Structure formats: structure tokens, C-alpha cells
Structure 1
Amino acid sequence: MPEYSVIDDHAEFEEACRALTDAHGPVAVDVERASGFRYSQRAYLVQVFREGAGVFLFDPPALGDFMPLQAAIGDVEWVFHAASQDLPSLRELGLEPPSIFDTELASRLLGCDGVGLAAVVERTLGITLAKAHSAADWSTRPLPQSWLEYGALDVLHLIRVRDILAEQLAEAGKTEIAAQEFHATLTKPPKPPRAEPWRRLSGLHKVRGARQLAVARELWTAREEYAKEVDVSPGRLVPDRALLAAVLAAPASKSALAGLKEFTGRASRTQLDRWWDAIERGRRTEELPRERVPSDAPPPARSWADRNPEADLRLKTARPVVEALATKLHMPTENLLTPDHLRRVAWQPPAFTADAIGSALESLGARPWQIARTAQKIADAFVEAHQAASGEIPAAS
């Protein structure tokens, strides 16, 4: 294994970009973040490989401006493994691929059992990767050599893997399917910010009453603001379970909060004033949160039989049809059609025709290939369910 170094010097960066420009073929790209350690999802290492140039490991905090790299590789296909994880961090750096090939997504479409990078490399190339540092704190400086080797391996074999998977997709008649999925991944807009992100607090369902919810909101917000300020993952400061314990215990004083053994975390005591102030704000505020949040999503499917028997029958009739089709196409059901899409059209269906079902699926974000393969079958299943509900034919089991 060669010894790798991180490029954090602008002159060396420019030289690497020239080498990448002069090389040929697609480029393999990967990003390492410090998830679980830092508040941000920024890139702390960008790895790039291109045939004829080799592997380069770039240090984003040190380099800052990545426009030379965009200019060097911005006109060729970028190869990723699980692109959706890396694209947001790359875009923060101003790096935008013109087109992508995703080896993880390709493996899913081919129905492969293991779709992690190590499994895909071993299956396609017979090479075993030692994946030991995936959960490391990549904001560490200097980065240990073993970590750099790990980072290099994330891109070193990716082009050859891409070529093999492209051949397999062609043999399976799935080249166009993959192209649509890759394009959807590349062009998918970011999720809009949640109106009430504090409701993501794990275990919030245990909190009763608007006043307690207000305390939970203020504690979560205080932790979020402090985490952003010090760029540390919120859960490392005070875990969700500790915030929840403070809410449920309803301490009568700051000292009672300090004495709560379940209130743990590296900042649980050093920032005690911050947490107590948040609790008091929650207890004083007149802006109480709603106890129930309205949603346009269908209720859990387990409740459909009582709440909407016809929708329940539609879903129970259509779901095995879609699952059988996915099996026939040798891919996971969720890649053939997002399960939530099927639930939504079953709960509130349009007309029972392929065109109407297809339009509804398209509005939900389904791709053309998904609609072409599922719309008619879903429409037929809905008709069958309607006839069964009317007593015309036996219901599907």
C-alpha cells in the first residue's frame, strides 16, 4: 500500500488539478465528514481518483476554494458509492457533477445481496477492503496514515467497479432504469427545513401536555444553538435520552437538575445555567406548541382496517402485486416503487386507471420507468379490491 498524504497547499492543489485535467475517463469521488462528532455536515476530506492521474486526498478546511477542482473534472461523469450522502457536502464546496454513476444504487437495481462498498468491491473485483474507520472523526488533524489509506480505498477501485456494473445493467436491460435513478439522485431538491425540528427529539411521544412539550422544545433549541456555536454534534453534548429525562423529571430547581443522574453528557453540568434557563423559558412561555401535529401523510397502515376499510383492501391487494413484480425484476421493492407512494395512492386514490394512477405517482416523484411498470398493475389491483368490497369477487388474502 503506497503512503498517502493530504493536499492542503494551494500550489500542490493546482498541480493535482492539472493532473486530473490531463487524465482520462470518469472520476471517482468520495467525501469524509465528522458525523457524530461535529455539528456541521461539512466535508473534512475529499477523495478523487482518475485513471492516468491516481488518487488525490484534498483537505477542504485548509484549501477553501475548490473551483480549480470543479474546472478540472466538471465535464465528466462522477462515480460515487451512495451519492446522496456525499452530494450535499460537495455542493457546500461548490462542487457539482454534470452526471453521476452510483455503484450502490446500481447494485440495488441489480438485486445484489450486499450493497456496501466492501461487499460490492469484493463481488465485482474479488478484492477485500478493510473498512475500519467509517465512523472516525475526520476533523482530526493530522489524519493518521491508516485513515488516509481507508479514504483512498473508497475511490481507488470505483471506476473498475463502475465498468463491471454498467455491463451487468446492460445485460439485465436496466441501463435506462439506472440512468433515470442516477438523474433523480443528482437533481433531487433538498428537503425543506422542518417547521418544528425539535419534534425529532427521540422519545418525545412520552411527553404529555403542551407545557411539557414547551420545555422539551426549549431544551432542544438551547442544545441546538450551543452545538452550532461550538461545532459539536448535539448528541455528544447532551444525548436525547438525557434531555427527555430532564423534561419528564420536571426538576424544581437548578440543583435538582444537576442532581438528576439521568441528565448526562459532556455539557450537562458545564452548561447547567443554559439548560436551566431553557427549562424556565418553557415553563413561562405563552407560545405553547400543539400537542398533535396535523399531517398530510396517511395514518399507519395497521389502523386502516378500522379507519378506511376500502383503502386497507386496496393496499392489501396492490402491495403483493408490486412485491411480485419487484421479485421478477430482481430488485428490492422499495427501488421499484417507494412504499409511501403506494400507500398514498391507496389511501386517497384517483380514478382506477393506469393514466390516473400514473399521474398521481408522478406528482409524488416516481420516475417514468417506475410508472410504466407499476401503474397498470396498481390500477388493476384497485379495481379488484373495489369489486371484492362490492361482493363481486372474493377479496385478496
Structure 2
Amino acid sequence: MQLSKWVRTRQELQSLAAALAGARIIGLDSEADSLHSFPEKVCLVQLADEAGAVFFVDPLSVRDLSPLASIIADPAVVKVFHGASYDVSSMKRDFGFEFGGLFDTMIAAQFLGLPELGLAALLERCFGIPLRPSRQKDDWARRPLTQAQEAYAAEDVQHLIPLCERLLAELRARGRDRWVQEECEALAGIPAADRVFDPEGYLRVKGAKALDRRGLAALRELFIAREAWAQEAGRPPFKILGNEAMVGIAGEKPRRPQDLRRIPGCSPKVIQRYGEGIIAAIARADSIPAAELPTVPRPKKPRVPPAVQRRIEALGRWRARKAEGLGLDPGLLLPRRLIEQLAEQDPLDRQALARIEGLRRWRIETFGSEILEVLGGKDGMRGLTHTSRSSGDRKQDSKE
């Protein structure tokens, strides 16, 4: 394997951008420090060209990656990722990139109905290449990278172009290349990653529902305090105080820092750094009047009208049959959220189908007629067809 070239200065980055300007296709990946820093950041961007050369762009040395922006946005230059969602949203956040010409080999594998979607499994299947063990848990902000890290980062990107070409050929043979293209276009449009702290997030912590109301108040105070401590320390919240420890503290409600020793997850280091703050959080919870203590909300399940439920079930049966015939995961062919939208909106024609958010052109072009037939057939409407359904029928749907 040839050595990867590091790009650490503005001049080197401009030279790389110039070299890639006429490229037809590039492989692209990134590594971040989400398990080690807070807030997280992209620490390495790997690029591979058609000749197999790999470049490591170091955002810790040259933070402004704008010389690459036009290439990343150019739809004529294919950017091959594997599992692009996290990379795309993170690079949008950190570098302001917009993406065009994106191709995700994981999405391609999904639409080929392959049983294993990981990069290692695909490289083994297509080329017999064993990939090195994952290093995703490494701290990619540390410099210098080890030889093992560099080898892993290079292998993550250097096979993406031939993998793309192999999978694309298989997709074309099955007539599914346009399906993947549209899904990749949608993926390129996802927003930049934006972590916004939700003070109500404590309600989603495992074990919260088992606490009494005073314990729930203590968990809320700890949850909010932990976020502040994480921001101050620049470390992920779970490394400040784990969720299990927070729930244990909220349940026990200790009164002194030394009482924390009996709670799993409260190490001597945690007690030394945050013991007083933890006890203060418990005291704040104790001071809340009983009438103001939080409760776990019990969401009411919306009542689904019988006609809508019939259409949901009919679409579900159609999806199961069709997905089995195509060798695809049913949720990929038609996700549950789309089934529910179709059943609720009950479109009568392709124009109405096109107004279903997220349905995609490929589904309408390939399966639109079948979907409309299912919605209007006996399974969906007790024998009523679209041609026989009147406005009165639709009013009755809404009343049921």
C-alpha cells in the first residue's frame, strides 16, 4: 500500500484542490472525536483519487477547508462515501460544505438486498479484501496518529472508488441505479449537524420512568448540571457522569459526597470533581414544592379511523409481498411513515402521490400504479374502487 500524503497547510490544500479539479470521481471519508471531546469536531478528512493515491487533510492544522468546497459541491465529480450521513452532516457543520454528486456504497448495498452492509463485509464480498479492525473509538484529535490509525484511515477510503463501480454495475443490471441516485441526492441535502441541548432529555434516560416524582426532579437537576460540566471540561456528557449513575443517584438521593461511593459509576475521581455539585443538585430537587414536581408524560395514542387502518394494513401486505420478490428490506421499499401518510392522504393519482413528502420519484415511477391500486382496491376500501368513491365516501373516511 502506498503512503498517504498529509495536507497540513493552506498552500498544500490549494495544491490538492487544483490536482483534484478535473477528477471524475473521488473517495471521501472523515474521522471525528465524538467519544472524546465536547462539542465534537471533524479531525481528519481522507480523500482518494482514481489512481489510488490517498490524502489526509488535517483540519486541526488547517481549519479553513474552503479550497475544497467547489469540488465537494460539483455534481460532475462523484464523491463516494460509505455510510455518508454522519460525515456529510459533520462536514457541513464544521466546514460549510455543500454536497453534489454523492454516492453512498451503503445505500447501494441496501438496494441490492445484500445481507451485510458494513464496509468490511462489502470489500470481502467484492474483492476478497479483509479490512483492519475498527478504530472508530480512537481519539482522532491526538497527534501524531499511529501507523495503525493511518493504515485504517487510508483503507477506509482507498477502495471506495472500485467498490462504487462494482456496486453501480450491479444496480444497473437490476434497473435500480436511479433509485440509489435519488436516495443519495436526498442524503446530500440533509442539514448540518446541530446538537441542541434539550433540558427535557432526562425523561428519555433509561430508568427514568421507574423513579418517583422527587427522584425525577433530581434526575432533571443532574442532567442539566452534567451538561454544564461537560461544556466546561470539553468532554462528552457520558464521560462526566454516566446515565446509569445519574439514575442511581436520583433514586438514592444521597446527602453527602461520601454517600456517593455506594452508587455504581461514582468513581473516586467523579466524587472528587463533581461530588459537591451532585449533592447541590439533589438539594435543588428537594426544594421543589410537591405540586411542581415533574411527571413522566403519558402520550395518548391517536385513534386511527377504520378506513385509514384498512389502507395501512393493505399497504403493509403489498409491501411484504413486493419486498420479498425484490429481495429488499420492507422498510427500505416503503417505510412505515410513508405507509401511514399514504393511508391518511389517500391519493387518487400520480400527481397526488408526488405530493407525499419523501415518497421519491423512483417509488412513484416504479410502483405508483400498484400503490394506487392497493389504496383503491377491496383490501383498502372494502371493495370500493377509486372510480366509485365519491366525495361523500371521503367525508365518511374522516368521520370514522
TM-score per shorter chain, which class?
Answer: 0.7 to 0.9
Q: Deviations over 1:69-102 (max 9, x none)?
A: 2245542221111111111111121222222011
Range with greater deviation from structure 2 (324-333 or 199-208): 199-208
Matched letter for residue 16 of structure 2: A
Change (3 A) 1:230 1:129: same
Q: Which whole-Å CA distance do the structure 2 matches of 1:95 and 1:191 have between them?
A: 12
Structural mapping, 1:6-17, within 5 Å: 6-17=6-17
Find out whether 1:214 has 2:222 as its counterpart: no
Partner-residue secondary structure (3-state), 1:30: strand
Change (3 A) 1:10 1:201: same
What's the CA shift for 1:285? Answer: 4.3
What's the CA shift for 1:11? Answer: 3.3
Determine if contact 1:257/1:276 at 8 Å carries over to the other structure.
Answer: no
Q: Which whole-Å CA distance do the structure 2 matches of 1:228 and 1:165 have between them?
A: 43
Matched with 2:386 is: none
2:241 paired residue among 218, 238, 254: 238
Find out whether 1:199 has 2:203 as its counterpart: yes
Partner-residue secondary structure (3-state), 1:62: coil
Structural mapping, 1:31-46, within 5 Å: 31-46=30-45
Matched with 2:48 is: 49
Q: Which whole-Å CA distance do the structure 2 matches of 1:136 and 1:280 have between them?
A: 38
Matched with 1:272 is: 275
Determine what percentage of the aligned residue pairs are the same residue.
27
Q: Deviations over 1:305-360 (max 9, x none)?
A: xx8777665544432321221222222112112223324655xx234746698367
Q: Which whole-Å CA distance do the structure 1 matches of 2:199 and 2:362 have between them?
A: 33
Matched with 1:261 is: 263
Change (3 A) 1:234 1:87: same
Partner-residue secondary structure (3-state), 1:366: coil
Q: Which whole-Å CA distance do the structure 1 matches of 2:257 and 2:28 have between them?
A: 51
Partner-residue secondary structure (3-state), 1:44: strand
Q: Which runs of 5+ in 1 are unaligned?
A: 389-397
Q: Deviations over 1:140-159 (max 9, x none)?
A: 22110111111011110111
Q: Which whole-Å CA distance do the structure 2 matches of 1:108 and 1:344 have between them?
A: 23
Find out whether 1:86 has 2:87 as its counterpart: yes
Matched with 1:19 is: 19
What's the CA shift for 1:161? Answer: 1.0
Number of residues paired by the alignment?
372
Determine if contact 1:104/1:115 at 8 Å carries over to the other structure.
Answer: yes
Change (3 A) 1:269 1:186: same
Determine if contact 2:310/2:379 at 8 Å carries over to the other structure.
Answer: no
Matched with 1:369 is: 362
Determine if contact 2:90/2:193 at 8 Å carries over to the other structure.
Answer: no
Change (3 A) 1:195 1:233: closer
What's the CA shift for 1:61? Answer: 1.8
Partner-residue secondary structure (3-state), 2:263: coil
Range with greater deviation from structure 2 (92-101 or 310-319): 310-319
What's the CA shift for 1:243? Answer: 0.5
Matched with 1:116 is: 118
What's the CA shift for 1:212? Answer: 2.9
Q: TM-score, normalised by structure 1?
A: 0.83
What's the CA shift for 1:368? Answer: 2.6
Structural mapping, 1:50-199, within 5 Å: 50-52=49-51, 54-75=53-74, 76-91=77-92, 92-189=94-191, 193=196, 196-199=200-203
Matched with 2:353 is: 358
Q: Deviations over 1:131-182 (max 9, x none)?
A: 3313222122211011111101111011111112111111111122111101
Q: Deviations over 1:42-87 (max 9, x none)?
A: 1111101112482101111221100112245542221111111111
Find out whether 1:331 has 2:328 as its counterpart: yes
Determine if contact 1:31/1:45 at 8 Å carries over to the other structure.
Answer: yes
Determine if contact 1:43/1:90 at 8 Å carries over to the other structure.
Answer: yes
Determine if contact 1:357/1:379 at 8 Å carries over to the other structure.
Answer: no
Matched with 1:393 is: none
Q: TM-score, normalised by structure 2?
A: 0.82
Q: Which whole-Å CA distance do the structure 2 matches of 1:248 and 1:378 have between them?
A: 52
Q: Which whole-Å CA distance do the structure 1 matches of 2:187 and 2:65 have between them?
A: 22
1:318 paired residue among 307, 315, 320: 315
Q: Deviations over 1:224-267 (max 9, x none)?
A: 2221222212112211110011111122x123642332242553
